[in-house]
């Protein structure tokens, strides 16, 4: 319109500009009138749960099925050992993995709370998942902890985890910056779209319980493998009665969860130390005497927040270097002395490694703030 006005030689440039402003005012008034009469509506497509490209048929064929994950009975939340400079000690890690496999563990959680995923960069995290798959993926199911309180971050990490071959993902509910019940559902449904998933409920760490209504909603998703549940065996039994696969997240309750409440198995910390005994507890039926035999060790492990006890015990057994990434520090000497008695009572042969258990001096431990 402006070009027509300006090319009309009967009008001066000033007249053309005035005519243009007049026409624009007319259009703007009509537009504003239209906008005032239109009712604003909230966008209905604000949440897009499935934005991922569909996998090609060959990729789908080679993926682990949800049913393959649902049948796992002993899953170890594997420890991540360190070198004195803070890098991963992959030689020690591979040795820990080997001991898990030969003692009957069927799956491992890589980079979970026990594995100190929260102290890793995502590059370290994904590298360790890929390393575990590459070295041991044909012998054990590798479940990568790719959860986060940021949905965007959880999506990205889970994409990378499945890209390097993990068999399933472990996802926690958003912690610290907590969300609503519907927010939890949206968060989980978004990450569930990518592959087999175990949801982890541990309110003592997240500050927020995942209520049964949320679990029942997301359990309809075909990629939902089950729940690692830390809220007790009554809730586990209720879920099992509704057909939801459950792993106990508490070593001290896992015997009864398995044999009285119907849990499929346990995701265990203690199996880092006594994988053979934990396998027996999960596979060989009710055994109250074995449960009682293991209980002093389990209580000792969790006097301080996990993985402090585990890290200390593995160092005392000589299977990892006594290197801690802060903020974790070893148990005090008196607790380390207690561990010697626990090992003697259970039998050194039931623990990982072959070296004699030691007390270790305080100066033997390396504490790293930068690595």
For residue 31, the model assigns a pLDDT of 55
Choose, from 82, 93, 200, 239, the residue flagged as catalytic.
Answer: 200
The two three-digit tokens of residue 16, written as one number: 């053309």
Is 200 among the residues known to form the active site? yes
CB 47 within 8 A of CB 186: yes
The one catalytic residue in 82, 93, 141, 228 is: 228
**Annotation marks residue 228 as catalytic:** yes
Q: What is the mean pLDDT of residues 282-291?
A: 98
Name the strand (E) or helix (H) holding 287: none
pLDDT, position 273: 98
User: Of 78, 61, 188, 186, which is closest to residue 132 (Cα–Cα)?
Assistant: 78
User: Which H or E run contains 53?
Assistant: none
The residue-averaged pLDDT of 168-177 equals 96
pLDDT at 327: 98
For the residues 352-367, what does the mean pLDDT come to? Answer: 98
Length of the chain: 371
Q: What's the mean per-residue pLDDT of the chain?
A: 90
Residue 63 pLDDT grade (very low, low, confident, very high; cuts 50, 70, 90): confident
């Amino acid at each position: 319109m402006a070009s027509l006005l300006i090319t009309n030689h009967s009008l001066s440039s000033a007249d053309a500009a005035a005519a243009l402003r007049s026409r624009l005012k007319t259009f703007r008034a009509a537009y504003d009138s239209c906008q005032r009469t239109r009712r604003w509506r909230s966008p209905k497509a604000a949440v897009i749960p499935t934005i991922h490209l569909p996998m090609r048929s060959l990729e789908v064929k080679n993926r682990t099925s949800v049913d393959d994950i649902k049948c796992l009975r002993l899953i170890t939340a594997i420890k991540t050992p360190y070198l004195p400079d803070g890098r991963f000690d992959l030689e020690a890690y591979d040795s820990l993995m080997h001991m898990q496999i030969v003692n009957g563990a069927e799956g491992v959680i890589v980079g979970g709370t026990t594995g100190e995923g929260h102290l890793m960069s995502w590059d370290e995290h994904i590298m360790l998942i890929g390393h575990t798959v590459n070295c041991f993926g044909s012998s054990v199911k590798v479940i990568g902890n790719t959860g986060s309180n940021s949905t965007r971050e959880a999506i990205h990490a889970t994409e990378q985890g499945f890209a390097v071959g993990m068999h399933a993902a472990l996802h926690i509910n958003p912690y610290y910056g907590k969300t609503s019940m519907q927010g939890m559902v949206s968060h989980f449904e978004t990450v569930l779209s990518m592959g087999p998933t175990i949801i982890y409920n541990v309110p003592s760490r997240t500050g927020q319980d995942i209520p049964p209504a949320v679990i029942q909603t997301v359990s309809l998703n075909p990629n939902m493998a089950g729940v690692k549940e830390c809220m007790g065996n009554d809730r586990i039994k209720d879920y099992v009665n509704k057909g939801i696969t459950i792993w106990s997240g508490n070593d001290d309750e896992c015997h009864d969860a398995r044999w009285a409440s119907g849990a499929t198995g346990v995701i265990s910390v203690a199996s880092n130390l006594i994988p053979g005994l934990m396998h027996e507890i999960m596979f060989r039926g009710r055994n109250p005497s074995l449960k009682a035999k293991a209980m002093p060790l389990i209580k000792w492990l969790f006097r301080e927040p996990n993985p402090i006890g585990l890290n200390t015990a593995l160092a005392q057994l000589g299977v990892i270097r006594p290197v801690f990434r802060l903020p974790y520090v070893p148990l005090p000497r008196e607790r380390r002395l207690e561990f010697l008695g626990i090992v003697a009572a259970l039998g050194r042969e039931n623990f990982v490694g072959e070296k004699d258990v030691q007390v270790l001096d305080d100066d033997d431990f390396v504490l790293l703030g930068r690595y």
